[in-house]
Amino acid sequence: MFEQAPLPRLSLVLGGARSGKSALAETWVLAEAKRRGVRPLYLATGRAWDAEMERRVALHRERRADAWDTVEEPMAVAALLPTLPPDRPVLLDCLTLWLTNHLLEEHDLAAETAVLCAALYAAPGPVVCVSNEVGLGIVPDNPLSRAFRDAQGTLNQRIAAAAQRVVFVAAGLPLALKSEPTS
């Protein structure tokens, strides 16, 4: 779909768990890095809290192999983004885990979202963000889960508003939600 087009300044890839969103985003960033003759940068926000999460992180690392430079940063993404070289495309995977990390530390999610959005807007090179769409299911049965769902929806909306490209992935198939011309 977008594989041949240069990456815009900011892209967002949304989808459910195991929808194929990370694989699609990786394809885009690898293609852009090849076009620019640089190594892509993977900003990984996941924390391995348990054995299942350890397996997920290992699968992502295995899929990346040696093709990427990886920075594992679960929370301070906003501070890191402005320091990156302008010619390197960046994959930020994923906003959902980043938000979870801040929620678990009991940070002000609205404030953290604002800081991240400002950093993404000021990032020196193209950034592709991956995020889960968590608002399509049933209403969670507890206040913490509802607060997380609402904060995730707000974060996704804020990033989507700023992004030039937004794609929703379901069953490995991308659906373009927004595509503005790159400058």
CB atoms closer than 10 angstroms to residue 183: 7
| % of the chain with per-residue pLDDT over 70 | 97
Range of the domain at 25: 13-178
Residue whose tokens read 């020196």: 124
Total of domains in the chain: 1
Query: Is 78 a residue whose pLDDT tops 70?
Result: yes
> Is 83 among the domain residues?
yes
Pair type for strands 165-170 and 173-179: antiparallel
Q: Has residue 52 been placed in a domain?
A: yes
**Euclidean distance between CA atoms 29 and 31, whole angstroms:** 5
Q: Is 70 helix (H, G, I), strand (E, B) or coil?
A: strand
- Distance separating alpha carbons of residues 120 and 90, to the nearest angstrom: 11
102 is catalytic: no
Structure confidence by residue, pLDDT tens digits, 109-168: 999 999 999 999 999 999 999 999 998 888 889 999 999 999 999 999 999 999 999 999
Q: Which domain CATH number covers 22?
A: 3.40.50.300
b or e along 128-157 (b: 16 or more beta carbons within 10 Å of the residue's beta carbon)? Answer: bbbbbbbeeeeeeeeeeeeebeebbeebbe
Report yes or no on 143 lying in a domain: yes
Residue 111 lies in a domain: yes
For residue 2, tell me if it sits in a domain.
no
pLDDT digits (tens, 9 = 90+) for 29-64: 999 999 999 999 999 998 777 788 778 777 777 777
Catalytic residue among 21, 60, 88, 102: 60
| Cα diameter, the chain | 49
The neighbour count for residue 70, using CB atoms within 10 Å, is 14
- Identify whether 3 is part of a domain: no
Helix 95-104 with 143-162: angle, nearest 10 deg:
140
Is 70 exceeded by the pLDDT of residue 1?
Answer: no
Note whether residue 94 is domain-resident: yes
CA distances from 3 to 28, 113, 182 (A): 6, 29, 14
58 part of a folded domain:
yes
